[in-house]
Structure 1
Amino acid sequence: MAERSTYMGWKLDYTQPPGEPAYIGPDSVTWRIYKNPISRVIGGVCAVLLEFADPRIRSGVWDHSTYRRDPVGRSERTGHAAMIGAYGPASAARKIIGGVNRMHARVEGVTPDGQHYKALDQELLDWVAATAGYGFLVAYHRFVSPLSDQEIRQFFSESTEIAKLYGVKTKPASLEDFHQMMAKLEPGFEAHPINEEFLQVLQNSAKERKIPGFLLHAIVCAAVDIVPKSVSERLGLNDKYKLSRSGRLLVKVVARLSERIPKPDSPAGQSCERLGLPRTFLWMSKRKQAALLDELQASGRLKSWESYSNDAS
């Protein structure tokens, strides 16, 4: 039986309906990156820290979500949302993202220092989307497998249609674009106890997650390590969460091992089946993937990734 994923109350079977395209195709850089659970956790935690650096986003999450009761779930939902957009059948992605947007439309308030905010403020909306892309990309690049400049550009390009569904208007096309966006917002970033609380709760969840405490600590440090240095310094996280040489090696070994172990019941594996591919497709060698894709595309049973966003829209 196919494993079902749940996001904010919605249940999604990634194997259904058969043949329905996602907004991104199976030969994309995004599908390769998002399948790795270790780099996905690292990237999700990094994204939360970058979001919470802005007091408007931090207040919005603190005042209008379950963050106080479930801070770890907050970072996990960042990963779930990314997978729905990348792997989910297009109709389900539109439905779920539309629901998220309607929920966000009700979120507004005032920060403790008097700044008014709305979750759908364009600047905040664009920044939240940018942090997720940055986190997942850099975590994979740093700890799993280095990506070429062309692959990095392709990664940013692949998510364009999904970003539009969220209402994003200014979207980085490169890491340089991301850093330029960050530079405009950074003067307003500030340290806050919520960041430390989030990281502590995450580390304390080792037993629940059945992960050795030393490994989870290394993963948390890895997430802080990929936060741009100027921001992590501003947040006061550098000293306590400095990634040691042994910690870096541990994270790389575990992340790269995870890259080799097929997870056929994951959203990545299920989505391959939906499109007529073996569930283990994303864990095959690039040579085998290319040969299989050539065969299926030649027969007309599968299209190249560039055509998926057009079919999904």
Structure 2
Amino acid sequence: MAIRKRSVTPPEDYGFFGPGSVAWKVWGYPTSLTVGFSRAVVVEELDPNLVASVDRTQDIYRRPKTRYDRTIHYFALVAFGDSRTTSKAADILVKVHSKAIGIEPYAGGRYDANDPDSQLWILVTGWHSVLKAYEMYGPGKLSDAEERQFWAECARAAELQTCDPADVPRSRAELHAYYERMRPQMSGSPIARKAMAHLMDVTQLGPVPLVLRPARWVVGRFFRAGVIATLPHWMRDMADLRQPRVVDVAVRPVLTVAFALTTFSKRLQLRVLALLSPSTVPVVAPVFLGVAPANPEVLTPAEARERYGYDRPAEAHLEWRAKQRAKVFGAGEEPSDAGLLESEPILGSLA
């Protein structure tokens, strides 16, 4: 179905970035919510604590399209959403993550999806992944000034998570140093390898008519090859992702041309996004189609928390999180799903 400008509801404001931001420039390119996003969720699984929570719920296997949809929705909200909706989503996500606690199956330690180190890994790998895809399959590298601004904006996004914005890398050199610090803590465990392979398979996002299945298979193969080509070899080795160099080289011009052609039509980009994440379309449509907000202002997360009455994520829902830990680690019971249910009106249905 065609998405027309006059049918798009104007957002309340520009959110946390707005026109002129490098975040909008990079996240708004068609590489970002496709290959870039897929790379982000794949790389995340190398964190043994995060993948333990993913494996425990089995949601990426039981309801892959829903999980994919809700995760893209949140990433897009941070980049493009209005300040009120995004602040609410960030707050409720702390409650959602309070359910993702337990015992890591290999080292035996406790994991908690709200842990600042895990949240920093999600943030940095997410923003780096969309930048990497933009560089490889989009217009190329940012200028030095733009790259500094990009990482400064990433630190602004960190205020929406439980991690400390001061820990966010601010340059390519700091990014490389961060990966070197994190590398010994990462693990290509059996559950990580299984999750990473699964998350690169776009065929699991839902059925298509029989006549379109060959085309989907071809697209899926290029998509997977494109994601792997962005990964450094140490990550590939951990994940047991083997791909000849000739494929790395061959896939780059194909995807670059495909994404470049897509940029000529914002409506086409929205149609592609609707296939991957229907609930995300209303978030990005105003930006893609040039629909001005009711109030053309850009807020900081701190300003938004003060305006709407939310706590800093690190300090949010502490009593609820303590109850969840008591249920899981004390009573040996399953954690409450209340946060997940509360998130449905904001991030999309769980069905």
Report the TM range for the smaller structure's normalisation: 0.7 to 0.9
Provide the C-alpha distance between the structure 2 equivalents of 1:196 and 1:125, rounded to a whole number of angstroms. 18
Deviation, structure 1 residue 22: 0.7
Kindly report which structure 2 residues correspond to 1:155-194, keeping only aligned pairs within 5 A, or say none: 155-169=150-164, 170-191=167-188, 192=190, 193-194=193-194
What is the letter of the counterpart of residue 187 of structure 1?
A: P
Provide the C-alpha distance between the structure 1 equivalents of 2:162 and 2:29, rounded to a whole number of angstroms. 27
What is the letter of the counterpart of residue 154 of structure 2?
A: S
Q: 1:250-306: per-residue Cα shift (whole Å, max 9, x none)?
A: 111111112222239643341441337xxxxxxxxxxxxxxxxxxxxxxxx856xxx
Name the counterpart of 2:232: 228
Deviation, structure 1 residue 204: 5.2
Provide the C-alpha distance between the structure 2 equivalents of 1:227 and 1:156, rounded to a whole number of angstroms. 20
Q: 1:168-227: per-residue Cα shift (whole Å, max 9, x none)?
A: 212122232222222222123232341354146424558639653222211221112212
Please give the secondary structure, in 2, of the residue aligned with 1:260.
Answer: coil
Provide the C-alpha distance between the structure 1 equivalents of 2:219 and 2:286, rounded to a whole number of angstroms. 28
Provide the C-alpha distance between the structure 1 equivalents of 2:9 and 2:2, rounded to a whole number of angstroms. 8
Deviation, structure 1 residue 134: 0.7
Q: Of 295, 303, 309, which residue of structure 1 is paired with 2:300?
A: 309
What is the letter of the counterpart of residue 275 of structure 1?
A: P
Query: Residue 136 of structure 2 contacts residue 252 of structure 2 at CA under 8 Å; is this kept in 1?
Result: no
Name the counterpart of 1:128: 122
Name the counterpart of 1:213: 217
Please give the secondary structure, in 1, of the residue aligned with 2:61.
Answer: coil
**Residues 74-83 or 222-231, more deviating:** 74-83
**CA distance change for structure 1 residues 88 and 108 in 2, over 3 Å: closer, same or farther?**
same
Query: Residue 220 of structure 1 contacts residue 241 of structure 1 at CA under 8 Å; is this kept in 2?
Result: no
Name the counterpart of 2:241: 237
Deviation, structure 1 residue 130: 0.8
Deviation, structure 1 residue 75: 4.5
**CA distance change for structure 1 residues 101 and 185 in 2, over 3 Å: closer, same or farther?**
same
Name the counterpart of 2:110: 116
Please give the secondary structure, in 1, of the residue aligned with 2:59.
Answer: coil
What is the letter of the counterpart of residue 30 of structure 2?
A: P
Name the counterpart of 2:323: none
CA RMSD of aligned residues (A): 3.0
Q: Of 82, 95, 112, which residue of structure 1 is paired with 2:75?
A: 82
Please give the secondary structure, in 1, of the residue aligned with 2:263.
Answer: helix
Kindly report which structure 2 residues correspond to 1:279-290, keeping only aligned pairs within 5 A, or say none: none
Kindly report which structure 2 residues correspond to 1:1-313, keeping only aligned pairs within 5 A, or say none: 15-17=10-12, 20-64=13-57, 66-71=59-64, 73-113=66-106, 114-146=108-140, 147-169=142-164, 170-191=167-188, 192=190, 193-195=193-195, 197-199=197-199, 201-203=201-203, 205=205, 208=208, 212-239=216-243, 243-263=247-267, 266=281, 267-271=283-287, 272-275=290-293, 308-309=299-300, 312=304
**Residues 203-212 or 66-75, more deviating:** 203-212
Provide the C-alpha distance between the structure 2 equivalents of 1:227 and 1:75, rounded to a whole number of angstroms. 20
Please give the secondary structure, in 2, of the residue aligned with 1:109.
Answer: strand
Query: Residue 45 of structure 2 contacts residue 196 of structure 2 at CA under 8 Å; is this kept in 1?
Result: no
Structure 1 unaligned runs (5+)? 4-12, 277-300
Name the counterpart of 1:286: none
Provide the C-alpha distance between the structure 2 equivalents of 1:29 and 1:200, rounded to a whole number of angstroms. 27
Name the counterpart of 2:276: none
Please give the secondary structure, in 2, of the residue aligned with 1:274.
Answer: coil
What is the letter of the counterpart of residue 46 of structure 1?
A: R
* TM-score w.r.t. length of structure 1: 0.77
**CA distance change for structure 1 residues 184 and 62 in 2, over 3 Å: closer, same or farther?**
same
Query: Residue 44 of structure 2 contacts residue 122 of structure 2 at CA under 8 Å; is this kept in 1?
Result: yes
Deviation, structure 1 residue 241: 9.4
Q: 1:47-99: per-residue Cα shift (whole Å, max 9, x none)?
A: 12211112211011121362221345544544321210121110110011111
What is the letter of the counterpart of residue 202 of structure 1?
A: V
What is the letter of the counterpart of residue 163 of structure 1?
A: A
Deviation, structure 1 residue 131: 0.9
**CA distance change for structure 1 residues 232 and 32 in 2, over 3 Å: closer, same or farther?**
same
Structure 2 unaligned runs (5+)? 271-280, 306-351
**CA distance change for structure 1 residues 204 and 100 in 2, over 3 Å: closer, same or farther?**
closer
Query: Residue 46 of structure 1 contacts residue 135 of structure 1 at CA under 8 Å; is this kept in 2?
Result: yes
**Residues 264-273 or 117-126, more deviating:** 264-273
What is the letter of the counterpart of residue 286 of structure 2?
A: Q
What is the letter of the counterpart of residue 94 of structure 2?
A: N
